Structure 1
């Protein structure tokens, strides 16, 4: 499943997208209260002097090197699209506060003649996260909040499983994925149709890993932090983003509302790759996690945002976002990918950014975005060189955006491609994006499978405090499982004894998964465990 947020590695992950690189382990853990969480000391970004950003190494790329790389990008994009079949793409490159490449490629929708141009609206998926941290940086500069404000100060009703963590978790903790929430907590609730308030309220049902000492990518943790900032301002997040960033930058085709994407006349339709080729698809509505994965925008608009980022919050002579607050997002806050060898490199996560340092010691900021149902994006910035690229596509994540961006920087630095980036990313990204497929092959029952009990043994309503009620009914001689506020229905196929299978759906679909009923002495099921929902131990439904 390429989920909204993403799994660690070099490719996107769940719908909002995988972090390509991530943050720094906070040194020196200390104990919390008795029987409390293991924590590392909280950073104090608000106490840092509001001075110039940290010094960067001197520029190491010449105008000629960058121009040579820009000259090759057109052919590389076209070649990548021809080899993979990705229907459409848009690419923007900025350098020294100028747009040096801005172009669309391919078509907005297979079967239609309309081509992609710089003003075509794409869904950004997790590229929304660094945009979201830009918005919060603006609010920090306006003195609305501080990065190290506890969430409870602005959203008193929010809670996690541990009361001590609930009272201490900060905006920065949630933006850097170090709250202790498990990977992609809450995403499956969105797949079932639950809205933002319900999902955020039920994050407290997840058991926590050590606070500030563990990294796990969570779309809804970050979303809660953004919502708390908006509450401090007294507005909706979608309005805050528009007021603080989109409108001041003139990003007129950018929005944090799915309705804006849906109503755009010039938009890129999502596509998925099947055994028979690429097909038109439909992504889920990401409004519930808009700060983490719900932004839609154009390559044209994103050149303005990249210019602001590379100018430390300034745009065309105006300071739009406070430089000190913005630069806090670029510091490593947690280790996202520990080194796998003594001399290996670690990956870090900042605040909405993957943070890394290249072989020349330069800060490198990056984030991928991915909807497995049909969108893949990436942004990479090299601040010391005032250089950035964004690549948007309307196909599911197979590594094309990442390959284009890596090839561009490789050619700029080395004069040629040192790695077959398309081949490499074509393996790494789909593997990183893949979900936890069932270890059981449910395509056909095993030899000697035990028969199921009569349908009446399984019929009824089962309760679950996290996923809500599950109802099992019989229709046309087949059991059907119904879940979620919209009563989504999943036909059950008998597998073996009291075990059935069903076809998963949505952004986090993983193919066939299992449902195991426990039947009591009276011949009626007392509970059922839904395998896809049980990764965090929350998938048991009990008959009411």
Structure 2
């Protein structure tokens, strides 16, 4: 493998890159895409493809802004690294020493959790815990979300294992504000983006929406489950809550992301500056951010993508660290409201690339990611996008089959029964300790549910079976859910539990963590 790397380290981008990107986009219905490829500190590709919005002829170019989702986490880690370089915090400082009033559910964890722990998904929180506080949107402040964290019960022991979360990156953003005196948005812009030469990038949703050269989000939401059906434009104002910016709302373009890739490959040095030139962050900080902190369990990928299964997989500070065919890669993906991204670094080849799309058709990102890796590693060409599409279709078929099985079971059992009480009994005001209040109201003979701290999250309840109702939200981009009412011995509602209808619902719709009781 060493000889292979030596032979391919100077490889140029694929000759047919443009044709391949355009073909894959067309095959899978992606409206627009941005591609950055860096070799050493040279941005050899910074291009846009397709259109910013379906129905428009406005082309994506190297300056078109895309929301980069959870690849923002590396910027939040780098912002903390600057404070470490400044001597204002340490990676292993206790969070409570820098963020007064911060609490986790367990007082012992509150005392012990460190700055490092905020970034590495080992806090004991469950997958996506607390995301419904800000997904798809919220009326809460960042401080409110930090305060609510104390009510989220852990799913496992502290530092016992890996479970991806967003909420602790929101805490990290609040900690940056507490230490620096600047909001996360201002600190990242002034201390990271501008010195990095990424002036077009923005941390502010209002600035993004005011920029005419921006990609707009798209998704398939008219099918039985999200991800199938017709591509349509989403309301871009409905799913970009500023409070979660430290976890996933930075917006950038192909040119600026090329700068970011070069800085990463240069271990903090600014492009073109050399080892003795100016730096964005120290080499020690760069090394720390790439050092694995927690093991990520490996699941064998099925055919036809079995060869993507890594031999090792871990999470560092805002980055995933794993291998592909024995070669270490530093990577992170991102997905947020109609957009997806992936950022990949191959240090041994001095190569990095970033791919962004303005839709949720992730097979394109994954496919091109592995096609580029194969190219730079000198491996045979392969239609990875087609393989990932086949993998996705198998998952969709299984999910639809599961829904069909539920319907068949209900029919075979003689029906779905009737609610145990008149609909008026289910109406009332309820609250969950971490989410907060909801209201269930009876109007026109139908029940309606309103998530009070999520603007626009209202939906109609349709009887599903017994005391379980299906909630279809007025905003079709919000995942439908089942709401199950439990009655006490007096026939009054004692609690409401929920779960997503779709087996493939994004984990940020963490309905299963809610427990509503009457107020």
Q: TM-score range by the shorter chain?
A: 0.7 to 0.9
Higher relative contact order, chain-length normalized (CA < 8 Å, sep 6+): 1
Question: Structure 1 residue 198: deviation in Å?
Answer: 2.5
1:500 maps to 469
TM alignment of 1:106-121, pairs within 5 A: 106-121=50-65
**In 2 relative to 1, CA 340–270 (structure 1 residues): closer, same or farther, beyond 3 Å?**
closer
Question: Structure 1 residue 344: deviation in Å?
Answer: 6.8
**In 2 relative to 1, CA 286–401 (structure 1 residues): closer, same or farther, beyond 3 Å?**
farther
Question: Structure 1 residue 80: deviation in Å?
Answer: 0.8
Native 8 Å contact 1:399 1:430 kept in 2: no
Within the candidate set 406, 420, 424, 2:383 is matched to 420
**2:126 match: secondary structure:** coil
2:516 aligned with 1:541, yes or no? Answer: yes
TM alignment of 1:388-537, pairs within 5 A: 388-417=352-381, 419-428=382-391, 441=406, 446=411, 447-452=414-419, 453-485=421-453, 486=455, 488-503=457-472, 509-511=478-480, 513-532=481-500
Question: Structure 1 residue 173: deviation in Å?
Answer: 1.1
1:206 maps to 152
Native 8 Å contact 1:65 1:415 kept in 2: no
Structure 1, 85-94 or 195-204: larger mean CA deviation: 195-204
Native 8 Å contact 1:498 1:517 kept in 2: yes
Native 8 Å contact 1:161 1:207 kept in 2: yes
**In 2 relative to 1, CA 89–537 (structure 1 residues): closer, same or farther, beyond 3 Å?**
closer
- Please give the alpha-carbon distance, in whole angstroms, between the structure 1 residues aligned to 2:233 and 2:511: 33
Within the candidate set 48, 60, 64, 2:5 is matched to 60
Native 8 Å contact 1:182 1:206 kept in 2: no
1:250 maps to 197
Q: How many corresponding residue pairs?
A: 482
1:16 maps to none
**2:134 match: secondary structure:** helix
2:88 aligned with 1:133, yes or no? Answer: no
Question: Structure 1 residue 62: deviation in Å?
Answer: 4.6
Question: Structure 1 residue 266: deviation in Å?
Answer: 0.3
Native 8 Å contact 1:144 1:232 kept in 2: yes
- Note the alpha carbon deviations across 1:407-459, whole angstroms, 9 max, x for none: 11201212532x43102333556889999999785799754433333232222
1:282 maps to 235
Native 8 Å contact 1:87 1:107 kept in 2: yes
- Please give the alpha-carbon distance, in whole angstroms, between the structure 2 residues aligned to 1:535 and 1:492: 19
- Please give the alpha-carbon distance, in whole angstroms, between the structure 2 residues aligned to 1:162 and 1:434: 41
Native 8 Å contact 2:96 2:111 kept in 1: yes
1:259 maps to 206
**In 2 relative to 1, CA 249–385 (structure 1 residues): closer, same or farther, beyond 3 Å?**
same
- Please give the alpha-carbon distance, in whole angstroms, between the structure 1 residues aligned to 2:121 and 2:297: 12
Native 8 Å contact 2:79 2:192 kept in 1: yes
2:298 aligned with 1:333, yes or no? Answer: no
Question: Structure 1 residue 505: deviation in Å?
Answer: 7.6
- Show structure 1 runs of 5+ residues with no match: 1-56
Native 8 Å contact 2:8 2:349 kept in 1: no
**In 2 relative to 1, CA 299–344 (structure 1 residues): closer, same or farther, beyond 3 Å?**
closer
- Please give the alpha-carbon distance, in whole angstroms, between the structure 1 residues aligned to 2:286 and 2:177: 17
